[in-house]
Amino acid sequence: MSPLLEVHDLHVEIPLPHAHLYAVRGVSLTVDAGESIGVVGESGSGKSITLRALLGLLPRPAQVTKGSIILDGVDVTGLPERRRTKMLTDAMSMVFQDSLTALNPVMRVGDQIAEVPRRRLGMSKRAAHARAVELMDQVGIPEPERRFRAYPHQLSGGMRQRVCIAIALSAEPRLILADEPTTALDVTIQAQVLEVIDGLRRDHQLGVVLVSHDLAVISQTCSRIYVMYAGRVIESGSIRQLLSLARHPYTFALLRAVPDPDLPVHRLLTIPGQPPDLTAVPAGCSFAPRCALTEPACREVDPPLTAVPKEPDHASACIRLETASQWLDWAPVGVPDLVKKT
């Protein structure tokens, strides 16, 4: 059976007045029904742009220049725009980061949830209302009948994000794209909202693509992770594989930068340097300038995503991936902060 969604070698470019920004440079990912995958990366690594490209909602003037999006085994990339957009929006829904701006401020939340069932799925007014109340109940909004009439600003952040999830569900999608859905929430509410998303995945066999810069959020909910850096996926694999032994120095450093609550923290670890300027991508590995393990070969070719030997589904774009188990031991010999344990 073909996976729910497959993305192959997606490229997105943004023509700017004086330059050309290569926002996404060859991203491939797969989501199965009932599976939740995580996309991590820092700001500007191309994770949100990738999501928007999937829905065909790129901001002008960004455009997909290469790659294919395969939905249920059907390549939608070559289809006429109208048809493609319809297929994509029928199959996927999106949950946004800031629920306050993602909801229409002058429309009652219930009406916003009932809108797609009423307008697109052709339900009667009464049926759409009932459906909206049912959805609100499903995402854990207490007293849905009463909250139906509330405006977005009258709800708390957690409730608003639940409304957003209910709206996403109202289109009866098979895949939910969530762009940092919990970043604007505090930690307890964050856990509740993640729980809602995960419950829906289990109960309805939904595919979930969760984008976040928070490793904790991703590892809590997702079975597979894609780590993005400078518009590329530089490592992918199961949570277990990545947490036990990351095979790319970026992921490796990222995981070390998460403070361990059991250890006294003297200093938070950081990765020195800046991500590269995507208008002029240098030859070689894009992480090389910040990497503690660089060797001359790293600056010559950008290594492709390569399968890690003996680890199925684990892939890394580092030419030294086989030496990962020794990276920590190398720390004393001249490797700076990033791999040094506190």
Partner 1 sequence: MTVISVPGSATDTVAPTTRRRRKHNVLLIVGLTLFGLLVLVAILAPVLATHDPIQQDLAHARLAPGAPGHLLGTDELGRDVFSRLLYGARVDLRVGVLAVVSPFIIGTVLGLVAGWFGGWLDTLIMRIVDVVIAFPFFVLVIALVFALGAGTGSIYVAITMVGWVAYCRIVRGEVLVAKEQEYALAARASGLPTWRILFRHLLPNVVLQAVIFSMSDIVLTILAIVTLGYLGLGVPPPTPDWGSMIQDGQQFLLTQWYLATIPGVAVVITGLALALIADGLVERFDSR
DSSP H/E element including 48: helix 47-55
The minimum distance between CB 154 and partner 1, in angstroms, equals 5
Q: For residues 192 and 159, is the Cβ–Cβ distance under 8 A?
A: no
Peptide bond preceding 61: is omega within 30 degrees of 0, i.e. cis?
yes
Within a 13 Å sphere around the CA of 113, how many CA atoms are in the beta-carbon half? 33
* Residue 256: burial class (beta carbons within 10 Å; 0-12, 13-18, 19+): buried
Q: Does 156 bind partner 1 (CB under 8 A)?
A: yes
Question: What's the CA gap between 327 and 249, in Å, rounded?
Answer: 8
Identify residues 70-99 at the interface with partner 1 (CB under 8 A): 85-86, 89-90, 92-94, 96-98
- List the one residue from 74, 107, 187, 265 that touches partner 1 (CB under 8 A): 107
Stretch that binds partner 1, among 18-26, 115-123, 209-217, 327-335 (CB under 8 A): 115-123
Q: Does 192 bind partner 1 (CB under 8 A)?
A: yes
Identify residues 128-147 at the interface with partner 1 (CB under 8 A): 140, 142-143, 146-147
The minimum distance between CB 30 and partner 1, in angstroms, equals 21
- List the one residue from 20, 119, 202, 240 that touches partner 1 (CB under 8 A): 119
The minimum distance between CB 61 and partner 1, in angstroms, equals 11
| Closer to partner 1 by Cβ: residue 55 or 123 | 55
User: If DSSP codes are grouped into helix, strand and coil, which group holds residue 331?
Assistant: coil
| Closer to partner 1 by Cβ: residue 60 or 126 | 60
Helix residue ranges per DSSP H, 205-290: 215-221, 239-244, 249-257
Match 């030997």 to its residue by tokens.
309
Match 């849905």 to its residue by tokens.
144
The minimum distance between CB 75 and partner 1, in angstroms, equals 20
Instruction: At 225, give phi and psi (nearest 5°).
Output: -125, 140
The minimum distance between CB 106 and partner 1, in angstroms, equals 4
| Closer to partner 1 by Cβ: residue 61 or 264 | 61
Cα angle: 226, vertex 255, 275; to 5 degrees: 70
Q: Does 183 bind partner 1 (CB under 8 A)?
A: no
Question: What's the CA gap between 60 and 54, in Å, rounded?
Answer: 15
**Between β-strands 207-212 and 36-40, what pairing exists: parallel, antiparallel or unpaired?**
parallel
- 229 - beta bridge partners? 232
| Closer to partner 1 by Cβ: residue 211 or 242 | 211
- List the one residue from 116, 163, 230, 305 that touches partner 1 (CB under 8 A): 116
Amino acid at site 61: P
Over its C-alpha atoms, the chain yields an Rg (Å, rounded) of 21
Q: For residues 176 and 93, is the Cβ–Cβ distance under 8 A?
A: yes
- List the one residue from 40, 69, 155, 285 that touches partner 1 (CB under 8 A): 155
Stretch that binds partner 1, among 7-15, 30-38, 100-108, 214-222 (CB under 8 A): 100-108
Number of residues engaging partner 1 in binding (CB under 8 A)? 46
Interface residues with partner 1 (CB under 8 A)? 52, 55, 57, 59-60, 85-86, 89-90, 92-94, 96-98, 101-107, 115-116, 119-120, 140, 142-143, 146-147, 150, 153-159, 164, 167-168, 170-171, 189, 192
